[in-house]
Amino acid sequence: MRIIGGKCRGLTLASVGKGDQAAHLRPTSDRVRESLFNVLAGGRFGEPVDGAIVLDLFSGTGALALEALSRGAASATLVDDGRTAQKLIRDNISRCRMEDKTQLLPRDATRLPPRSASQPPATLVFLDPPYSKGLGLKALAHAITQDWIAAKALIVWEESTAQPAPEGFTLLDQRRYGDTWITFLKAAPHLPKTGVES
């Protein structure tokens, strides 16, 4: 697994091993990540990566957030409650020398704390929950409730099936890559802080 583009292009990232501790981790493949960032760079959604405030929920190895930082995002908050994932994220942040642009929250992505007033809300959100467990919608709803998501933010949601747009979001596009579906959503200009129905 490696960074595909930007200033860290070609850098090899730490990934999951074959042990039981890593069995729950499912990193986005290089191929899917490259295709995803090609879509983001294609101009259809403006320039969502350049200068972005990134929120990476169910961060896993941190590859999505770090790819965005390599390509010009301003900062990233990576969220994962798994110990193996946290170790991989810290290792990969160090490999990319992105300590000054990242924050690791060792928390359940469906139970974020309130966003600090000193931290701007996310303009680009990566959502890569365990497949088919309904955790993506729950995490999205909680992130809204805790004020983590900016109005008009772009949401990139990876799941095993195409996801419908929940209340407060507009469906922009959906792409299938093998067993993976990527759903692109845009947050409303005025997000209700009560969150979407979960």
Give the pLDDT confidence of 156-187 residue by residue, as tens digits: 999 999 999 988 899 999 999 888 999 999 99
Confidence check: pLDDT of 192 > 80 = no
Which residue would you say has higher pLDDT here, 131 or 92?
92
Confidence check: pLDDT of 18 > 90 = no
Dist. CA 198–CA 195, nearest whole Å: 8
For residue 182, give the nearest of 193, 171, 174 by alpha carbon.
174
Confidence check: pLDDT of 70 > 90 = yes
Confidence check: pLDDT of 197 > 80 = no
Burial of 12 (0-12, 13-18, 19+ CB in 10 A): exposed
Say what the pLDDT of residue 32 is: 87
Dist. CA 138–CA 132, nearest whole Å: 12
Confidence band of 131 (pLDDT split at 50, 70, 90): confident
Confidence check: pLDDT of 107 > 80 = yes
140: how many CB neighbours lie within 10 A of its CB? 29
CATH homologous superfamily of 28-187: Vaccinia Virus protein VP39 (3.40.50.150)
Question: Distances in Å between the alpha carbon of 194 and those of 49, 136, 144, 191?
Answer: 27, 17, 7, 9
Confidence band of 198 (pLDDT split at 50, 70, 90): very low
Q: Which of 24-38, 47-61, 95-109, 144-158 has the lowest mean pLDDT?
A: 24-38
Say what the pLDDT of residue 31 is: 85
Confidence band of 68 (pLDDT split at 50, 70, 90): very high
Say what the pLDDT of residue 195 is: 47
Q: Two tokens at 133?
A: 């467990």
Say what the pLDDT of residue 25 is: 63
Confidence check: pLDDT of 56 > 60 = yes
Confidence check: pLDDT of 26 > 90 = no
Confidence check: pLDDT of 97 > 60 = yes
Rounded to the nearest integer, the mean pLDDT of the chain is 89
User: Strand 122-127's sheet: what is its strand order?
Assistant: 102-105, 75-79, 53-57, 122-127, 149-159, 180-187, 169-177
